Amino acid sequence: DAKTTQPPSMDCAEGRAANLPCNHSTISGNEYVYWYRQIHSQGPQYIIHGLKNNETNEMASLIITEDRKSSTLILPHATLRDTAVYYCIASNTDKLIFGTGTRLQVFP
Amino acid sequence: GAGVSQSPSNKVTEKGKDVELRCDPISGHTALYWYRQSLGQGLEFLIYFQGNSAPDKSGLPSDRFSAERTGGSVSTLTIQRTQQEDSAVYLCASSLAGHGRNSPLHFGNGTRLTVT
């Protein structure tokens, strides 16, 4: 799996868009970009994934640069319940390894 | 439908005792994963199954740890002669086909193990 780099922490005001960056400059052509999050005291939750094209679902949008070396997870209208650790993973293998992620704090 | 179910949700045991942790994956999911998370730490991969086979056991911390999966469904993680450093939340996840096959993981809420 390609190494990913994320900022250790970010803040976001409630109701604003949260844009979480991820760098994966060594990603290979068949590695997907996955995002998960872990809210305190719960198991991780799958958010979204993509290969080349931008993706959107009911939770978030994923923007992948054309060269695929970085991506951004967008939570369009952050709420207090979005406070969590967000993990970006670039992978094409069954063995899934989590890094340290970005701790997003949404404040009122 | 039903998600990944783990039992018990909490387990307190004395040092030296054996424990069994159970995971019921989402029905039809062929891949099953075990992780653990110590207090304030990240997720540590332990083992994963494709069907009843475990292609990768590299994350098991010692030979006191073992896991099995029967019938391609329920899995049990067993820790023998528990030590205090085994205290952690043990998380199970399942995937329709395996993470490498464009198939994300769905996690349970874990078993919190405390070894006294």
CB environment A41-67: b (16+ within 10 A), e (fewer)? eebbbbbbbbeeeebeeeebbbbbeee
- Residue B16 C-alpha, separation from nearest chain A C-alpha, in angstroms: 27
Q: Contact at 8 Å (CB) between B105 and B33?
A: yes
Q: What is the pLDDT at residue B1?
A: 54
Which residues in chain A (83-102) have CB-CB distances under 8 A to chain B? 91-101
> What would the mean pLDDT of B97-113 be, rounded to a whole number?
89
Q: Is the Cβ of B17 closer than 8 Å to some Cβ of chain A?
A: no
Q: Is the Cβ of B107 closer than 8 Å to some Cβ of chain A?
A: yes
Nearest CA in chain B to A96: B99
Q: What is the pLDDT at residue B37?
A: 94
What tens digit of pLDDT does each residue of B7-42 get?
999 999 999 999 999 999 999 999 999 999 998 888
Q: Which residue has the tokens 């049990």?
A: B76
Nearest CA in chain A to B39: A41
Which residues in chain B (31-60) have CB-CB distances under 8 A to chain A? 31, 33, 35, 42-43, 45, 48, 50, 55-56
Q: What is the pLDDT at residue B51?
A: 92
Structure tokens at A5: 């780099």
CA distances A72 to A31, A33, A104, Å, are 16, 10, 14
The C-alpha atoms of residue B21 and residue B49 are separated, in whole angstroms, by 16
Nearest CA in chain A to B36: A43
Q: Is the Cβ of B25 closer than 8 Å to some Cβ of chain A?
A: no
Nearest CA in chain A to B105: A46
What tens digit of pLDDT does each residue of A42-91 get?
899 999 999 998 999 999 999 999 999 999 999 999 999 999 999 999 98
For the cut 90, the answer to whether the pLDDT of residue B112 exceeds it is: yes
- Residue A93 C-alpha, separation from nearest chain B C-alpha, in angstroms: 4
